[in-house]
Copies of this chain bind each other. A is one copy, B any other.
Amino acid sequence: MRPDTDTSQAAVPEAMREPAAAINAYLVRLLDGLRLESGLDDAIRYSLLGGGKRVRPALAWWSGVAAGGTGQATLPAGAAIELVHAFSLVHDDLPAMDDDDLRRGRPTLHIRSGEAMAILAGDAMLALAFGALRAAASEHLGALTDELVRGTNAMISGQVCDTLGGMDESLTDAQRLELIHRNKTGALIRAACRMGGVLGGGNAGAIERLTTFGEAIGLMFQIVDDLLDVESCEVKTGKRTGKDAGAGKLTYPGVMGVAGAKGEVARLGAEARRAVEGFGRPGEALSDLARFLERRGA
């Protein structure tokens, strides 16, 4: 099951509040302006507005500020990333995929609205994600489109490898796992940071540091999720747990043990914070976000 960020017991950091409120309002305005067919509109609102801590838009926001721009200017990218994230959750939960009936403590979309609608609403959210980029300053559209295509397809490739196997057999389990996780969850988080950096007008050095940051927390995020899967109970996470191990999937605790996985989380968290040290206050906000993601499982 692909992780979302609603399952945390850690307190939401201050750095998340303003971006989360801004993106929620932005997404509502975006959907209001589209006037979609009513059943489709309803399904999309259920998936897109039904909770979610908005970690990715918050990462785009502070990456934009770190790069020298405003948080507001990153909202088109935040909306696009959140649409891709929501689409991926809906499709991953389908019976033919992870077959989950619970997400964020509520019925998954296909349980609520049927499989056909879940497929179609997911498709529509993916297309709308690219449309959302049109609200960004037009000189950035090319770079943003590149990032979103790359992030989305890496995510899909990661899901293919995770669900259907078929990877290079010369890789060790640990190598295979890192590759899957970097793609499945990491690529979209990386894209959020880079798109924020682009919209903030960051130079190559700034984008590079934001990329290092995004890659570290993206991988860390999935390891924390693996740990949650092992350690948590259904009440705490709002979704079924212990499922990955039961399905025979590769996980970090499975490959390197719980202690080894926790060590890797700490190492990646430190690497992420180091990468954004030079950004002043927005760098501190990014560090707070990293710390929050690191502590989700604590």
Check A156 against B39 for contact (C-beta < 8 Å).
no
Is the CB–CB distance between A123 and B126 below 8 Å? yes
Query: Is A114 engaged at the interface, CB distance under 8 Å to the other chain?
Result: yes
In Å, the complex CA distance between A96 and B96 comes to 10
Q: Does A130 contact B (CB under 8 A)?
A: yes
Please classify the interface of chain A as helix (H, G, I), strand (E, B), loop, or mixed, using the class held by over half of its residues.
helix
Q: Nearest Cβ distance between residue A295 and chain B, in whole angstroms?
A: 32
Query: Are B123's CB and A38's CB within 8 A?
Result: no
Q: How far is the CB of A179 from chain B (nearest CB, A)?
A: 10
Determine which of B34, B114, B164 lies in contact with A117 in the assembled complex, contact meaning CB atoms within 8 Å: B164
Beta-carbon contact of A141 and B130 below 8 Å: no
Contact residue among B114, B124, B134, B159 (Cβ-Cβ distance under 8 Å from A120): B159
- The stretch from A24-32, A144-152, A248-256, A282-290 touching chain B is A144-152
Residues from chain B with a CB closer than 8 A to the CB of A233 are none
Could you name 13 residue pairs across A and B whose Cβ atoms are closer than 8 Å?
A36-B157, A38-B166, A96-B110, A97-B119, A116-B164, A119-B119, A120-B159, A122-B123, A123-B152, A124-B157, A130-B130, A131-B153, A145-B145
B residues near A15, Cβ cutoff 8 Å = none
Contact of A128 with B by CB under 8 A: yes
The interface residues of chain B lying within 8 Å CB-to-CB of A114 are 96, 164
Contact with B along A137-176 (1 / 0, CB 8 A): 0100110011011001100110111011011000000000
Assembly CA distance A97 to B119 (angstroms): 9
Give the residue of B38, B149, B161 whose beta carbon is less than 8 angstroms from that of A127. Answer: B149
Cα of A70 to Cα of B133 in the assembled complex, Å:
28
Contact partners of A118 in chain B: CB under 8 A: 96
Bound-complex Cα distance A38 to B165 (A) = 10
Q: 15 additional contacts, CB 8 Å, given A34-B153, A96-B115, A120-B159?
A: A36-B153, A37-B167, A39-B164, A94-B96, A96-B118, A97-B116, A97-B119, A117-B160, A119-B119, A120-B163, A126-B126, A126-B127, A127-B149, A134-B146, A141-B142
Q: Could you tell me the distance between the alpha carbons of A120 and B126 in the complex, rounded to whole angstroms?
A: 12
Q: Are A130 and B117 within 8 A (Cβ)?
A: no
| Interfacial chain B residues near A91, Cβ < 8 Å | 119-120, 123
Interface string of A226-241 (1 = CB under 8 A from B): 0000000000000000
By a CB distance below 8 angstroms, the chain B residues around A96 are: 94, 110, 114-116, 118-119
Chain B nearest CB, measured from A111 CB (Å): 13
Q: Is A40 an interface residue (CB 8 A)?
A: yes
* Cβ–Cβ < 8 Å partners of A152 in chain B: 123-124, 127
Please tell me if the beta carbons of B160 and A131 are within 8 angstroms of each other in the complex: no
Is the CB–CB distance between A153 and B127 below 8 Å?
Answer: yes
How many Å lie between the Cα of A37 and that of B163 in the bound state? 13
Cβ distance A192 to chain B, nearest Cβ, rounded Å: 16
